[in-house]
Amino acid sequence: MDLQNLTERYVAAWNETDPTARRKLVEDAWATDGTYTDPLVATRGHDEFDATLAAVQSQFPGLTFRLAGPVDAHHNVARFTWHLAPKNADEPLVIGFDVLTATEDGRVASVVGFLDRVPQG
């Protein structure tokens, strides 16, 4: 199972601002009943996760997610740190840590996210 590739597809969905293209990324990478949970939201299924992506993009226009280092993975589980920042900025505004679990067919079953640094105010 290529968890590096699945993680990259997951991050790409966070960055895709075209609603049709974003939805295709979600449907291709996520299990139908896949879940996403972080301190601010809990979702199940494509519709709820896609709506969360749209809401975050609206809240942070012009910012992009990127992996902050290598994906550490074994079996069907990956963990990774990510940054949210303006495209060419060195310093991220938000830093998070996610744990992704994949289905046997290589799609996202669940993601549990943690926010390590968020803007104040």
Do residues 97 and 21 touch, judged by C-beta distance below 8 A?
A: no
Name the average pLDDT for the chain.
96
**What Rg, from alpha-carbon coordinates, does the chain have?**
13
**Average pLDDT of the segment spanning 23-44:** 98
- Which pTM value belongs to this model? 0.95
Query: How does DSSP classify residue 102?
Result: E
> Measured between alpha carbons, how far is residue 73 from residues 70, 76, 90, 99, 100 in Å?
9, 7, 26, 9, 9
pLDDT band at 71 (very low <50, low <70, confident <90, very high): very high
pLDDT of amino acid 35 = 98
**Average pLDDT of the segment spanning 100-110:** 97
Nearest to 112 by CA among 99, 102, 103, 121: 99
Burial of 78 (0-12, 13-18, 19+ CB in 10 A): buried
Give the helix ranges, DSSP H, for 16-110: 19-29, 45-59
Nearest to 14 by CA among 34, 31, 29: 29
In the chain, helix, strand, coil percent, each to 5?
30, 40, 25
